[in-house]
A and B are shown apart, each in its own frame.
Chain A
Amino acid sequence: MLAPKARGSLSEQVLAALTSGQVSPTLRDVEPDGPEDAQVTLWSLYELHYRGFEDVDDTLEWHPDLLAVRAGLEAELEADLRERCPEVDLGDDFAAGLFSFIEQHDGPSVARFVQRDATHEQVMDLLRWRSIYHLKESDPQAWVVPRLSPGPKAALMELQYDEFGNGDPQLLHAHLFAQGLAASGLRPDYGAYIDEAPVEVLEENNAMSLFALHRRLRAASLGHLAAFEATSSGPSRRMSRGLSRLGFPAEMSAYYDEHVEADAVHEQLAVRTIAGAVVAEDPSLVQDVVLGAFTCLDLEDRFAEAALARWGAVDA
């Protein structure tokens, strides 16, 4: 993947520094023009830790001046996410409380719109936007593994092993999505559509990286995972039906069909054996789990509102 296009003053200077290798300490003094500029810059800096860019020197991954820019943007993002998150009491039964918190959250649903009303072109938009995360599906949470004690660590690996294809790269979830994209006439290569990604997609991605890359936020990462898995089976079924209604190829539906079944398992693991085990060991982490879970639901609401508005649609 090539470095994305700039979306403002900060991203322009950071991306120029990345591609030229000329990194200046003054970068940390540049203010972003707005959310888009900030999020694309943060996304690009995070990407150095995932797969990197063909036009950026790999040694810049740990450059202190770039890390300083990243830290500033992360502090802003974390403050925003915390500000939006309500105080929630999950009660004495953590699993029941977390499932109930997630179930009671009500927001617009892109999947419902796809099932009933979306056009082929709108679903193509959606697949391009979703590709930013689905082509690195479960990669952020892999960073959390070494930060856990034996119980939650084994539990997270049990889930991740399924996400990563149970030893078979053909079954890796990100690969299933890539095959669906290719069959649908879209580019299956990692990050291909980054320049089209709305700011809400960048923010969803960045929140996952933020939680996963900071050990102190590990419980937020696992709360995010729990909410993600627990809101996947039903919407995946609706996506699959919408794709069939519009005549999309079987490979694309197969990705969503796999998630109907897999995530009915994963939600139980994520809530009970992963987040549940972390909280059982350290009850002070409950509010971080809530932060992660709420962030997942809230950022998806923001994405859904933006996507539906862009299409001039409403989720009836």
Chain B
Amino acid sequence: MREPTPSPTPTVVMCPGGPMLLRGKHVVEDADGNLHETRRPVSAVCRCGKSALQPWCDGTHKVLPERDRP
């Protein structure tokens, strides 16, 4: 059985209209200079600016009008 060859896995992924995914261990500095360590296999960094969990995504981009999404 021939399996499709997986493409190389990116460590940073920009999700259209949504967050930036970070794969692996990173330290993220937020806008106020505070440091946040990732603690999951993949973390989602807010790009719309409206998350209540900065610097992480909390899904808020989905309730924004299309034009305000990243």
Q: Which residues from chain A sit less than 8 Å from chain B, CB to CB? A: 95-96, 99, 103, 149-151, 154, 158, 161-162, 166, 233-234, 237, 260-265, 267-269, 272, 281
Apart from the given pairs A260-B59, A268-B44, 5 other A-B contacts in the complex at a CB distance below 8 Å: A260-B53, A261-B53, A264-B56, A268-B18, A281-B4
Cα-based distance from A264 to B47 in the complex (angstroms): 12
Q: Chain A interface mostly helix, strand, loop or mixed?
A: helix
Q: Shortest distance in angstroms between B41's beta carbon and chain A's nearest beta carbon? A: 5
The interface centre, meaning the residue of A150, A154, A264, A268 with most chain B CB atoms within 10 A of its CB, is: A264
Please name the residue on chain B nearest to A260 by beta carbon.
B58
B28 on the A face (CB < 8 A): no
Indicate the size class of the contact surface on chain B: 20 to 34
Interface positions, chain B 1-56, Cβ under 8 Å from A, are: 3-4, 6-7, 9, 13, 15-19, 21, 23, 39-44, 51-53, 56
Asked if A234 and B42 sit within 8 Å, CB to CB, the answer is: no
In the complex, what residues of A have CB within 8 A of residue B63's CB? 234
A234: which of B4, B19, B62 is its contact (CB, 8 Å)? B62
In the complex the two chains form, what is the Cα distance from A162 to B38 in whole Å? Answer: 12
A280 to chain B, nearest CB (A): 9
B6 touches A154 (CB 8 A): yes
Q: Are B4 and A265 in contact (CB under 8 A)?
A: no
Alpha-carbon separation in the docked complex, A95 to B59 (Å): 15
Asked whether B59 lies within 8 Å of A96 as measured between CB atoms, the reply is no
Whether B16 lies near A149 (C-beta < 8 A) is no
Residues of B near any A CB (own CB < 8 A): 3-4, 6-7, 9, 13, 15-19, 21, 23, 39-44, 51-53, 56-60, 62-63
A residues near B19, Cβ cutoff 8 Å: 264-265, 268
A262 to B59, CA, bound (A): 10
Known contacts A150-B3, A151-B6, A264 near B40 by CB under 8 Å = no
B residues near A265, Cβ cutoff 8 Å: 19, 21, 40, 42-44, 57
- Chain B nearest Cβ from A27, distance in angstroms: 38
Instruction: Write out the residue numbers on chain B whose beta carbons fall within 8 Å of the beta carbon of A260.
Output: 53, 58-59
A261 touching B15 in the complex, CB below 8 Å, given contacts A150-B3, A151-B6, A166-B40: no
Q: How far is the CB of A303 from chain B (nearest CB, A)?
A: 21
A154 to B58, alpha carbons, bound, how many Å? 24
Known interface pairs A151-B6, A272-B15; A261-B58 also in contact (CB < 8 Å):
yes
- The answer to whether A263 and B59 touch (CB under 8 A), given A161-B41, A268-B21, is yes
